[in-house]
Chains A and B, each alone.
Chain A
Amino acid sequence: MVILSEQPLLKLNELAVEFYPNRSQRSFYAVCQVNLELERGEVIGLVGESGCGKSLTGRALLGLLPPTARPTGKLEFDGRQYLIGSPAQAQLRGRRIGMIFQEPTSALNPVYTVGDQLRETLYCLRGLKGEENRAVGLQLLRRVELPEPEKIIQQYPHQLSGGQQQRVLIALALAGEPELLIADEPATALDAPLRRKIIELLEELAGAGLSVLFISHDLSLIREVCERSLVMYSGYSVEDCSFDSEAKLDHHPYTQGLLATADALTAAGSGRLPVIEGEVPSPKSRPSGCPFSPRCGEKLDQCDRQFPPAVSRGPGFLHCWAREAEK
């Protein structure tokens, strides 16, 4: 259950990211409106189909958007306001917020050994040198349950397995002792057994007091790991809810679709999978009004015209004309 404190660890308000790709293409919004709150020690999920802007939201939290992006919105971390993309926000990276990525293989610099990268990170973030640096590094590798850390620090990334690489990345992300870890699909690229282990590792870390923002398209995973989730669709955070089985909520039609799919998958092999018809619109050609309206089974007239305002509901909120009408 959510503990409401006066000061959430992270608060994101009305995040929008506009892209100016190059002089030959027009600009577009990849993220339109995202609101997020995260308490200390909380593990929350960010879920939605591919192309909904989840990763960008994660990157915006670190101020790591591509140079062609122009973010707007309010970011508050530990009670302090940050301008997204500002040098002050950059200071949070590694030290207070860590991040790991979907593809461990490409997230490690291929030309440096694991040891190089670990040593460098520890030196830059914590000023550690020499033996101390090495000891802390090995300690970190042990913490992410890597066997034979002495051997691993001499190896190049391409000599490690995918699971090992992801662990190294987690170790690197933890090097600065951050309070929040953003895990962007941390296990998607891995085989099932490895995936399990990484998830377990993350759960373990969360248990030790680390806040985690868990980004995934896999609702069943999110449901299992997170206490609370934010559902994103086409650049909007459409619903903030808990998937606690006890609280049967009237979800956003999109969330319902996702749930149906996830349930069907869990009940493996029960005939045809119920899928949501259609595709996520491209940010360059997003329909007006509620972006989900073309795929929505409960579409109302006003859905085409205007994006629905937030309906706060118990914990969390919801953007849907249909649900508003129901109220």
Chain B
Amino acid sequence: MYKQKLADFIYLLKQNKLFAAALFTLVLLYLSAIFAGFISPYRYDSEDRTKSFHPPTPVYFTDGEGGLAWPYVKDYEFEFDDYHRRIYEPVEGSRNRLQLFPEGEKYNFLGLLETRRRLFGVEDDGKIYLFGADSRGRDLFSRIIYGGRVSLSIGLIGVSISLLLGLLIGGISGYLGGLVDNFIQRLIEVIMLVPAFFLLLALRSAFPLDWTSVRVYFFIIIIMSFIGWASLARVIRGMVLSLREKQFVEAARVSGVPGPVILIKHILPNTASYFIVAATVSIPGYILGESALSLLGLGIQDPHASWGNLLQDAMSISQLQLHPWVLLPGLFIFLTVMSFNLVGDALRDILDPEHEVSGGNLV
């Protein structure tokens, strides 16, 4: 059975190029988040105020006379123009060559060892801003990579928690029925009665804003899981209700297997296919939820980065006009969400073609 699924999966990768691309994108994004310290040239909070809103740095491959050169970047300095816009001009003759594995700022590699080796950097005092810089001259590329840690993990952890809750509560509700079922159903209705975003705002506002980012991070996960389990539990309950009547469950019950064991060993595993698909397609909801909160300044706080709070700069149309690159984090959200949707769609094809699962985004 599982061998068959695996074979299907490999075949799927070969056949469905979009799926393969989406999966590849996700793997790449997650890897870069895990190895953020290594991949990003700078720390998320390392700033250079003299480089406020530095535009993306072009990387040159030619030496200016048509010949090839080791890739390099130029130094840029700004002047305020008449409009008090920062106009960055390359410094004549400056040439900072790119370096592989240079020593940069200290970071913790996978929580194991302290190191300074980074994937790439620029020699001397040069700065490389692949995606431009923010108002305090922090490298947007590095911040996006670091921000991925928050945005990407929040989906995974949040989904795991709500799935667990949904599975257990929905399972119990469907299996036991009666009063318990009734109570749980009402509870689910209460949660689903309030628009998720309002609930998110109200819950968030009930706790102090001055928490550290780490606390806020866990708190957001908890809030979103708290909201997210309800709809899952409802589906699981329905599935359990119908599975409960199936012969193999009946058989187990007759032969005296205790209720919880039946639920865990016989009923819930049968919902696994639905679950894997539901998990994949609900992850974007969590990513978007966190982004929306952070976008409104209620989530992860500066100097820590998440894709949502990086987008705060884009809230201002004027900033967008002056520095269009502040929209880039949005592109990353879009890519991630799209990839998850594509993967979910393909997984549904092989695992659970019966159910149309919708993610139910918070925003």
Whether A and B touch (Cβ < 8 Å) is answered with yes
Instruction: State whether the Cβ of A23 lies closer than 8 Å to any Cβ in chain B.
Output: yes
Which residues of B lie under 8 Å from residue A26 when comparing CB positions?
8, 11, 15
Are B4 and A24 in contact (CB-based, < 8 A)? Answer: no
Min Cβ gap B10→A in Å is 11
B12 in the interface, Cβ–Cβ < 8 Å? yes
Interface size class of A (residues with CB under 8 A): under 10
User: How far, in angstroms, from A23 to B350 measured CA to CA in the complex?
Assistant: 10
In this complex, what residue of B is CB-closest to A23? B16
Cα separation A284 to B12 with both chains bound (whole Å)? 15
Q: Whose C-beta in chain B lies nearest to the C-beta of A22? A: B349
Task: State the Cβ distance, A242 to closest chain B Cβ, in Å.
Answer: 37
A25 part of interface (Cβ distance < 8 Å): yes
B44 at the interface (CB under 8 A from A): no
A5 within 8 A of B: no
CA distance A22 to B15 in the complex (A): 10
Nearest CB in chain A: distance from B348 CB, A? 9
- Interface residue B340 (Cβ < 8 Å from any Cβ of A): no
Interface residues of A in 2-61 (CB under 8 A from B): 21-26
A24–B16 Cα gap in the complex (Å)?
A: 6
Q: What residues of A have a CB within 8 angstroms of the CB of B349 in the complex?
A: 21-25
Contact between A23 and B15 (Cβ–Cβ < 8 Å)? yes
| B residues less than 8 Å from A22 (CB atoms) | 349
Give the distance to chain B from A218, nearest Cβ to Cβ, in Å.
20
**Chain B: interface size category:** 10 to 19
**CB of A145 to closest CB in B, whole Å:** 34
Q: Is B229 an interface residue (CB 8 A)?
A: no
In the bound complex, CA of A25 to CA of B15 (Å) = 8
B19 within 8 A of A: yes
Q: List which B100-149 residues lie within 8 A (CB) of chain A.
A: none
Decide if B4 touches A25 in the complex (CB within 8 Å). Answer: no
User: Cα distance A23–B16 when bound, in Å?
Assistant: 6
B22 at the interface (CB under 8 A from A): no
Contacts of B4 in A (CB 8 A): 284-285
For the complex, what is the distance from the CA of A21 to the CA of B16, rounded to whole Å? 13
CA–CA, A64 and B4, complex, Å: 29
Residue B346 at the chain A interface, CB threshold 8 Å: yes
How far is the CB of B98 from the nearest CB of chain A, in Å? Answer: 40
In B338-359, the 8 Å CB interface with A consists of 346, 349-350
Per-residue contact bits, chain A 277-288, to B (CB 8 Å; 1 contact, 0 not): 000000011000
Rounded to whole Å, the gap between the CB of B115 and the closest CB of chain A is 42
User: Which chain A residues (258-303) contact chain B, with CB distance < 8 Å?
Assistant: 284-285
Of A21, A24, A26, most buried by chain B (CB within 10 Å of CB) is A24
Roughly how many angstroms separate A22 CA and B19 CA in the complex, as a whole number? 13
Q: How far is the CA of A24 from the CA of B352 in the complex (A)?
A: 12
- Smallest Cβ-Cβ distance to A26: which chain B residue: B11
Chain B positions within 8 Å of A23 at CB level:
15-16, 349
Nearest residue, chain B, Cβ from A284: B4
- Chain A residues with CB below 8 A from B11, complex form: 24-26
Q: For A285, what are the chain B residues with a Cβ–Cβ distance below 8 Å?
A: 4
B9 — nearest CB in chain A belongs to which residue? A24
User: Which residues from A are CB-within-8-Å of B350?
Assistant: 24-25
Kindly provide the distance from the CB of A280 to the nearest chain B CB, expressed in whole angstroms: 16
CB distance from A66 to the nearest CB of B (A): 12
- State in angstroms the CA–CA spacing of A284 and B349 once bound together: 16
Q: A24 to B19: give the CA distance in the assembly, Å.
A: 9
CA distance A133 to B122 in the complex (A): 87
The CA-CA distance from A22 to B350 in the complex, in Å, is: 9
Residue on A nearest B346 in the bound complex, by CB: A24
Interface string of B1-14 (1 = CB under 8 A from A): 00010001001100
Which positions in B face A, CB cutoff 8 Å? 4, 8, 11-12, 15-16, 19, 346, 349-350
Q: Could you list 18 A-B pairs, sorted by A, with CB under 8 Å?
A: A21-B349, A22-B349, A23-B15, A23-B16, A23-B349, A24-B8, A24-B11, A24-B15, A24-B16, A24-B19, A24-B349, A24-B350, A25-B12, A25-B15, A25-B349, A25-B350, A26-B11, A285-B4
The 9 residue pairs across chains A and B that have the minimum distance between CB atoms: A24-B349, A24-B12, A23-B16, A22-B349, A24-B346, A24-B16, A26-B11, A24-B350, A23-B15
